[in-house]
Amino acid sequence: MNKGNLYVVSAPSGCGKGTILEEVLKNNTNLFFSVSATTRDPREGEAEGVNYYYISEEEFKSEIENGGMLEYAQYCGNLYGTPKKRVLEKLDKGIDVILEIETIGAMKVKKAMNEAILIFILPPSVAELRRRLNKRGTESQEVIDKRVNEAVEEIKRAVNYDYVMINDELENAIKDFEAILKASKLTIENNKNMIGKVLENA
Amino acid sequence: MNKGNLYVVSAPSGCGKGTILEEVLKNNTNLFFSVSATTRDPREGEAEGVNYYYISEEEFKSEIENGGMLEYAQYCGNLYGTPKKRVLEKLDKGIDVILEIETIGAMKVKKAMNEAILIFILPPSVAELRRRLNKRGTESQEVIDKRVNEAVEEIKRAVNYDYVMINDELENAIKDFEAILKASKLTIENNKNMIGKVLENA
């Protein structure tokens, strides 16, 4: 049996990656979404084990020491990380796993697991990203400025990804994302044993 | 403007690549199908400039000498080749080009143009391929045996391709093929300038 693919998805806040992933996970039931752990407080509407596992800084640091984090990073003063065990178990069972993490963490995963497939979701433009964040109306201007600056830094790191896609129209973005998933299952790296099977008893 | 992608498609005779490509070309109007030149005689139902450009051995060899063939190969006693000029012109205009060629030619194209994307269409099994060739009923058992042996050799070379897909159900095969086309337009290699555009005026 083939191992599952590991997809690492990054996008600046406000690029709609949550909505895209929600739809993609609905349509593709062989995908496992890896929930990250974080030390930040839950936002309104977020739930334990759905958006994040909310743990204390002490717990987080103890996980790091025990080698239990596939990657972790500090962002806006909080720690975010990927609990390793569940991810590796799913991949071994042939289940594809999606990690939704920021760019520094993504680079760490790629370094640890070169077969990981990195997907970056871009906004149509930085101006449009700012407009979307303003429209959301949940954060102060200062926080929005900070997010936009962070976004610019993250977008610059998109050159290290395998795929980049723009979320302009949601429907198209979902199609793009699903094409990447489907095509990446058809690469030769994933299918060397398929050739052997076709040739069996030839 | 980005250059077009060059897709090289190979499949043993009887794998349905003709039908797949016909549908894909109907659905994707930005794709240019590169018609090969050959010294073999037209089969019943084939037409000049549609299936092949049918040229004499003398003409073919003169093209080779003038550097006019992107690749060429001998197969079952006949010469097959890809006229270079039209392919490069389309790519320069940002149009994606599909070459349908056999495996030796495909390897030559990959060597000459490393950015080419090689797709191999597999039959579900060699036994099923033989069944399909027999069903077609247009060739003698001797010719079918020869084709099956050639197919086995070609399938062994599929490990050198970027993507491999099985044509079991036509509808699924078309979706697989189109996912490869779409995803390959989203690779970072094709989109470094997209990141610059998103960051403009940031």
Give CA–CA dist A163/A158, Å, rounded: 8
| pLDDT attached to residue A197 | 92
Class of domain B6-196: alpha beta
**Secondary structure of residue B166 in the 3-state scheme:** strand
**Residue B137 pLDDT > 80:** no
Contact criterion met (CB < 8 Å) for B125 and A198: yes
Contact criterion met (CB < 8 Å) for A123 and B198: yes
Count, residues in chain B: 202
For B137-150, b where at least 16 C-beta lie within 10 A, e where not — what string? Answer: eeeeeeebeebbeb
Contact residues for B11 (Cβ-Cβ < 8 A; gap 6+): B17, B120, B121, B122, B154, B167
**Residue B138 pLDDT > 90:** no
Candidates B159, B187, B198; nearest CB to A155: B198
Candidates A155, A164, A187; nearest CB to B191: A164
Give CA–CA dist A35/A168, Å, rounded: 26
Mean pLDDT of chain B: 93
Which two tokens mark B169?
Answer: 């159900």
**Residue B202 pLDDT > 80:** no
Confirm or reject contact between B171 and chain A (CB < 8 A): no
Q: What is the CA radius of gyration of chain B?
A: 18
**Residue B14 pLDDT > 90:** no
Q: What angle do CA B178, A189, B31 make, to 5 degrees?
A: 25
**Secondary structure of residue B156 in the 3-state scheme:** helix
Choose among A42, A109, A100, A21: nearest CA to A71: A109
| pLDDT attached to residue B201 | 75
Which is the CATH superfamily of the domain at A6-34+95-199?
P-loop containing nucleotide triphosphate hydrolases (3.40.50.300)
| pLDDT attached to residue B16 | 87
| pLDDT attached to residue A151 | 93
Pairing label, strands B6-10, A69-75: unpaired
Identify the DSSP state of A156.
Answer: H
Pairing label, strands A6-10, A117-122: parallel
What percent of chain B is modeled with pLDDT above 90? 79
Largest CA distance in chain A: 68
**A54 burial type by CB count under 10 A (0-12 exposed, 13-18 middle, 19+ buried):** middle
Contact list, A125 vs chain B (CB under 8 Å): 197-198, 200-201
pLDDT tens track for A50-91:
889 999 999 999 999 999 999 998 878 899 899 999 899 999
Candidates B180, B182, B199; nearest CB to A155: B199
Min Cα–Cα distance to chain A from B1, Å? 17
Residues of chain A with pLDDT under 70: none
ipTM score above 0.85: yes
Beta bridge partners of A8: A99, A118
Contact list, B186 vs chain A (CB under 8 Å): 163-165, 176, 179-180
Candidates B148, B188, B192; nearest CB to A163: B188
Contact list, B183 vs chain A (CB under 8 Å): 163, 179-180, 182-184
Contact criterion met (CB < 8 Å) for A125 and B198: yes
Confirm or reject contact between A192 and chain B (CB < 8 A): yes
Banded model confidence at residue B62, pLDDT cuts 50, 70, 90 = very high
| pLDDT attached to residue A14 | 82
Confirm or reject contact between A191 and chain B (CB < 8 A): yes
**Residue B38 pLDDT > 90:** yes
Put simply, whether the predicted model's pTM sits higher than 0.80 gets the answer yes
Contact criterion met (CB < 8 Å) for B152 and A202: yes
pLDDT tens track for B163-179:
999 999 999 999 999 99
Q: Are A183 and B185 in contact (CB under 8 A)?
A: no
Min Cα–Cα distance to chain B from A127, Å? 7
| pLDDT attached to residue B128 | 92
